[in-house]
Structure 1
Amino acid sequence: MRSQTEWSILAVEADTGEVLIESDPDLLLPTASVGKVFLLHHLAELLDEDESLGRLLLRKDSVEPVADSGLWQHLDVPALTLNDCARLVGAVSDNLATNVLLDHVGLAPVQAVASRLAPGGSMLNDSVRDVRTPEDPPTLSLGCAADWVAYFRTPHPTVLSWLAPATDLSMVSSAFGLDPLAHTGPVPTDLANRLQVWSKTGTDDGVRAEVGLLDVAGRRAAYAVICRFEGEVVPVLGQMRAYGTLLLDVLQGG
């Protein structure tokens, strides 16, 4: 029987690999939307081969409607470029854009990317579903901190560009004092420090996860904080913020 709260946590200095924070980094846990990064990485590699693919128009009615996170479901525009769909996934974890992109490229190639990049077993299991039946994968994605820190030590630059405007700063990043709607460039924290973060979060019932890269005055840390829990979410968010505060303090030389 599992405990009520399980954590997989790791933060390392990106350049040196020095471990800054660590707790059960190889534990695989549900990560909700975090696994969408594998889709973004696959798209980035396709664009490396043919950048014109980014201008391809994809229609929102090519898949069934899906609710929850995202903006496209609320917009009139019937089609967006592949690049803009990826931007929506990076910025607001857009579920409809995710499914449109998966419908276009296929789930299997994305899972092949995950198998190549994540030896610890992190995986995008499925497209986004409003309702999961017993025949469906039980969770959108699985992940462990070790896999995600390894990825964000050397992330694809195009993926970082899509993640830069990510608006969900409710977890680890809540400690960084950033404007959720305007933080795509370095933000002065004082005369000596400039701060920038690229992150992807995942939210589901009993799941909170954030993975990413934090830069403070040129010193970078790849980090991942993943939690599966029972009960109230507020204490979990408070602990995630505490890990963010600790990470920021370490990078600032504390």
Structure 2
Amino acid sequence: MGTEPRRDAESLRGSRRSTSRRPPRRAAVGRRSFTSTLKALDDLAASGAKVSVRITDLDRGNSVLAGDDFVTLPVAGLGVVPLLVEVAAGFEEGTLDPLEIFDREGLEPVTVGGVWQHLKAPALPLSDLAVLTAATGDALAANALLSRVGLPAVRARIEQLGLARSALLDRFRDVRGPDDAPHFALGSARELSEVFGALVNSKVVSPGVSAQVAEWLSFNQDLSLVASATGLDPFSHENDEHGMLFINKTGRDSGIRVEAGVLAGPRAGVSYALIVCFDDLSIMHRMRAHEAFRTLGMELMEYVF
């Protein structure tokens, strides 16, 4: 694993976080090594895992940490982000009605995650389905949105966003047969990090679309990986009393753990993405992967605070 400098980019908007009491920038320079994270990821790679990581400083626009960040890997449920972008764009353009009711009766049952399958309400408005998709990783809600907007539209949006190493391949399924796509979605750590950075800088489609998608993602309740280091309440973390800006999305499947997001504090702001594909042979193999995410989270918190 190693670092890779990048071209300058526009800084995170000042309105996103207070800079009035920020220490001199040089105070954070000594914490740029991410030594523990590098060791944890190197150990995973040595054990046969595929690892891709990217951290970008949003103020400076440079790469803080990059390792195989260009490699395309399965990203599981994190692939719903371009779907949410397409839905938000439809709301803004008027081609979709946020209050349009979608009935799940015509959908094939899927139980891999989420809460709608457990609710009595058989139909919900599209806006509520977007919240369920972002907040709980609801596979049935995501499939409903995908059915409504169509896979070709999402693929066209991915191309419009310039994501050459990302793809939404299929809907969520409980079982993938030989005739099905092998994964729900693919992506690279570099592009995932860039998308989240663009969201908070209002550069995804339009400021309104960026704000809507960021709002949905701010409801995400999975804070068990990188986000575990933030100490935030999983069920209510949009307005942190310590001035932390945070949005994230995770992806999980057998032997796949992914997280991407934005974390900003008084010293700095970063966008990040980590993909780990590993042999889930035992609980210890899984816990080693999870521990690497948590180690990254701790060092990100040290970097921004």
Q: TM-score range by the shorter chain?
A: over 0.9
* Counterpart pick for 2:213 among 136, 153, 159: 159
Contact 2:267 2:303 in 1 (8 A): no
Alpha-carbon distance in structure 2 between the residues aligned to 1:108 and 1:93: 22
**Whole-angstrom CA distance in 1 between matches of 2:264 and 2:140:** 31
Letter of the 1:244 partner, please give it.
Answer: G
Give 5+ residue unaligned stretches, structure 1.
189-193
Between the aligned partners of 1:62 and 1:15, the Cα distance in structure 2 is 47
Superposition pairs of residues 137-156 of structure 1, within 5 angstroms: 137-155=181-199, 156=210
Q: What amino acid maps onto 1:250 in structure 2? A: Y
Structure 1 residue 106, shift from structure 2 partner: 0.5
User: Measured at CA, do residues 51 and 175 of structure 1 come closer, stay the same or move farther in structure 2, by a change above 3 Å?
Assistant: farther
Change (3 A) 1:201 1:60: same
Give the Cα–Cα distance (whole angstroms) in 2 for the partners of residues 52 and 122 of structure 1.
Answer: 24
Say if 1:47 and 1:54, in contact at 8 Å, map to a contact too: yes
Measured after TM superposition, the shift of residue 28 of structure 1 is 1.1
Question: How far apart are the structure 1 equivalents of 2:72 and 2:214?
Answer: 24
SS at match of 1:54: coil
Q: Secondary structure at the match of 2:274?
A: strand
For structure 2, the 5+ residue unaligned runs are: 1-45, 200-209
The residue number in structure 2 matching 1:81 is: 125
Counterpart amino acid of 1:24? D
For 1:32 and 1:223, locate their aligned partners in 2 and report how far apart those are by CA, in whole Å.
17
Farther-moved stretch of structure 1 (42-51 vs 197-206) = 42-51
Residue identity matched to 1:60 = R
Larger Rg: 2
SS at match of 2:298: helix
- Which of these residues, 102, 115, 123, is aligned with residue 159 of structure 2? 115
Question: 1:214 is matched with which residue?
Answer: 263
TM-score, normalized by length of structure 2? 0.77
The number of aligned residues is 246
User: How far is 1:61 from its partner?
Assistant: 1.2
Q: Note closer, same or farther for the CA distance 1:218–1:78 as it changes in structure 2 (3 Å cut).
A: farther
Alpha carbons 1:89, 1:95 under 8 Å: kept: yes
The 8 Å contact of residues 83 and 154 in structure 2, kept in 1 or not, is answered as: yes
What one-letter code is carried by the residue in structure 1 that aligns with 2:225? M
Q: What does 1:62-81 align with in structure 2 at a 5 Å threshold?
A: 62-81=106-125
Shift of 1:135: 0.7
Q: Could you tell me the TM-score, scaled by structure 1's length? A: 0.92
Identity over the aligned pairs, expressed in percent?
35
